[in-house]
Amino acid sequence: MFGKKALMDNLGRNLDRARDKRNALAFKRDALASDVTTLSAQIAELEARLSDEKDRLERERVVGEIEGMKKRLKETAKTFAPAIGGLCDATQTVAAIVPEARELNSYLLAVGTEVDTVIDFLLRELERQAAAVRAGQATPDLPQSASKAPRGTKNNDRLLRFPTWLRRNEEEKKMDTDQRSVAA
């Protein structure tokens, strides 16, 4: 019997050690599960902060581009107004010799006034859009092509078309004089 009792005691100790190991592993498992839950919550918080920061940076980028557009528009308008004024002065001088220049002068004044009105509207609208983006009320949807628009391009085609408008009046007068001479 002595051998059976020692075997039973040995088995009992082994069973107690196995239970202790199981309990220790269960405690570690519970601790790891708690750590995983904590880490998952921290990851979700960091992802939310990262998303907020990306949104803020995108809004700042868009606002910066809008401000750049406003600055470019203002600078261009500053050079446009004196050019129109100079043309008006020149056409007034020319009108003393060529009466048709008065028509160009009035056209230039109308264009200058209209451009000034539209530029003021555009500047106010750009400021409104920038304020909405800053406040997070507007989605910063600035097309990539708008931010990469060429800055120094000059549309010479428009300049070439403008004199044809003047030539049209000259051609009409020439046709009138030709018709009069044919009729005579």
Asked if the structure places residue 157 within a domain, the reply is no
Overall number of domains in the chain:
1
For residues 126 and 120, give the distance between their C-alpha atoms in angstroms, rounded to a whole number: 10
Which is more confidently placed, 138 or 43? 43
Extract the tokens encoding 2: 């002595």
Tally: H helices and E strands in the chain: 4, 0
Asked if the structure places residue 159 within a domain, the reply is no
Asked if the structure places residue 86 within a domain, the reply is yes
**Low-confidence winner among 36-40, 94-98, 142-146 (lowest mean pLDDT):** 142-146
CA angle in degrees (0–180, nearest 5) for 101-154-60: 125
**pTM of the model as a whole:** 0.58
pLDDT at position 160 over 70: no
Helix axes of 2-95 and 101-134: crossing angle, nearest 10 degrees: 160
Asked if the structure places residue 110 within a domain, the reply is yes
- Print the domain residue range for 37: 2-144
Asked if the structure places residue 78 within a domain, the reply is yes
Cβ–Cβ contacts within 10 Å for residue 128, how many? 12
**Low-confidence winner among 36-40, 105-109, 145-149 (lowest mean pLDDT):** 145-149
